[in-house]
């Protein structure tokens, strides 16, 4: 259960994070509202607010799994049915020329 599997994780593109290492994936944790991260700029007197930056393989105690998309749920169900049918076919068939037993 890493940040990338959490519904609150938003990946950052490399151009959005010039101050972070390029060989590590980062994102924002959107679990809570953004917080003021700097003092107001002298030019425009506005605060900068941002979400916490996290590494993709980080984790926390407030993890919430991403909901599967409707199409993905159907694919998962179809794959599970196929796996079950394949297992039943394999266990019901004759092994090494011996007749199948029921």
Residue 24: per-residue pLDDT: 84
CA distance 1 to 63: 7
Spell out the per-residue pLDDT of the chain, length 102, in tens. Answer: 899 899 999 998 877 777 788 788 888 999 998 888 666 666 666 777 788 889 989 989 899 888 766 666 677 777 777 777 766 655 555 555 555 555
Q: Tokens standing for 99?
A: 């007749």
Q: What is the pTM of this model?
A: 0.55
Which contiguous run of DSSP H or E holds residue 2? none
Residues 9, 67: contact at Cβ < 8 Å?
no
Which contiguous run of DSSP H or E holds residue 49? strand 49-50
Sequence spans of domains, the chain? 1-62, 66-93
Residue with tokens 């519904």: 7
CA 20, distance to chain mean position in Å, is: 21
Residue 98: per-residue pLDDT: 56
């Amino acid at each position: 259960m890493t940040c990338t599997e959490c519904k609150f994780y938003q990946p950052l593109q490399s151009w959005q994070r010039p101050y972070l290492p390029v060989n590590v994936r980062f994102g924002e944790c959107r679990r809570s509202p953004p917080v003021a991260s700097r003092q107001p700029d002298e030019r425009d007197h506005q605060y900068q607010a941002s979400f916490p930056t996290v590494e993709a393989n980080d984790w926390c105690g407030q993890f919430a799994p991403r909901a599967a998309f409707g199409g993905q749920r159907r694919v998962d169900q179809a794959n599970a049915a196929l796996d079950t049918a394949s297992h039943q076919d394999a266990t019901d068939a004759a092994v090494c020329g011996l007749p199948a037993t029921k």
